[in-house]
Amino acid sequence: MSNPSLLILPGDGIGPEVMTEVKRIIDWFGAKRDLAFDVEEDLVGGCAYDKHGTPLHDDTMAKALQVDAVLLGAVGGPKYDNLDFSVKPERGLLRLRKEMDLYSNLRPAQCFDALADFSSLKKDIVAGLDIMIVRELTSGVYFGEPRGIFEEGNERVGINTQRYTESEIDRVARSAFELARRRNNKVCSMEKANVMESGILWREVVQKVRDTDYPDVELTHMYADNGAMQLVRAPKQFDVIVTDNLFGDILSDCAAMLTGSLGMLPSASLGAPNADGRPKALYEPVHGSAPDIAGQGKANPIACILSFAMALRYSFDQGDEAARLEAAVEKVLADGVRTADLLGEEGVTPVSTTGMGDAILAALDASL
């Protein structure tokens, strides 16, 4: 029986640095847990443009469609700011999401006890926070047509179209309800049904899916602007939040800062099941390429490491091993080991990117 396959796309900026630590952890699972992966590495983003003149080569796209999961670091940087929109580094990531049909983006926001003081909110509001935002990823205003900048009379007009079909809403709603059944059986759907027809349709379809196939799951509806307010007022009222592409982008970044650092947050983008029943999947940290600290050993690899933990859980049916890795991260943080983004309190041990990887590997060894 062949090993599960992974395509690693480190990308730009700090992407290669944090991905190096993930590769060490992948090797650990192969050596210590008899969980080996067939790993291939390729380019995406600015580095792919530098070599191929495109942010994602067709050959790389073909590989992504064949493997069991893709693990991505980060893309972009000021070096590429003046490129034509069609070849900007981010277009490579968007192409992966679109052609892999990764319609369900899972963004957890979890506040580890050791980091509760790093949140911009009071400790009692965020301590123990563990919510999941499910963002529709392949439709909505980022993909709707018509779009562009056009001449209209004597001025220019920028147009983007918010568009959703019933089937697109249906499938991401099901993803959220299935996930809720594995958590606390609560879903809050967020839209703007008060001012947007797409929001009216969104609310109707989500309610129908729940009433028809998930009557055991508690469903509430909330306007997305109120949702943003509630996330910073009382975030622990939520369990699973499901929302569209634009609102999901905004709300998940808002939720990210509740936890204290973008360097802590993973994500999973899931699509339709393959022949073996597993979804096509791409895993990536929520943070960007952070070109200002690239190459300095300051980057926090935890978000990328936790993205691999999500891959273990959702792509490889290794929930126990995912929990082992997550527990190792939690232990290291509880022991006061910190990268540069998490410094600021007394009694901590500052470490480099590699030092954080060393500490997590030691915690994994101790778990055996």
Annotated binding site for substrate: 97, 107, 135, 225
Q: From 77, 74, 41, 76, select the one nearest 60 (Cα to Cα).
A: 41
Check if the beta carbon of residue 306 is closer than 8 Å to that of residue 264.
yes
Beta-bridge partner residues of 161? 144
Check if the beta carbon of residue 63 is closer than 8 Å to that of residue 7.
yes
Check if the beta carbon of residue 282 is closer than 8 Å to that of residue 269.
yes
Task: Verify whether residue 142 is a known catalytic residue.
Answer: yes
Q: Which residues are annotated as a binding site?
A: 77-90, 97, 107, 135, 225, 249, 253, 288-300
Catalytic residue among 249, 283, 314, 331: 249
Instruction: Please give the Cα distance from 84 to 82 (Å, whole number).
Output: 7
Check if the beta carbon of residue 3 is closer than 8 Å to that of residue 66.
no
DSSP class of residue 152 equals E
SS3 273: strand
158 alpha carbon, distance to own chain's centre? 29
Q: Which residues are annotated as a binding site for Mg(2+)?
A: 225, 249, 253
Q: Which residues are annotated as a binding site for NAD(+)?
A: 77-90, 288-300
Residue written as token pair 């796209």: 61
Check if the beta carbon of residue 312 is closer than 8 Å to that of residue 322.
yes
Q: From 361, 368, 351, 350, select the one nearest 328 (Cα to Cα).
A: 361
Catalytic residue among 49, 103, 142, 283: 142
Instruction: Please give the Cα distance from 246 to 350 (Å, whole number).
Output: 37
Catalytic residue among 27, 101, 225, 358: 225
SS3 266: strand
Task: Verify whether residue 192 is a known catalytic residue.
Answer: yes
Task: Verify whether residue 317 is a known catalytic residue.
Answer: no
Residue written as token pair 């909330």: 222
Catalytic residue among 68, 192, 244, 341: 192
SS3 150: strand
Known catalytic residues? 142, 192, 225, 249, 253
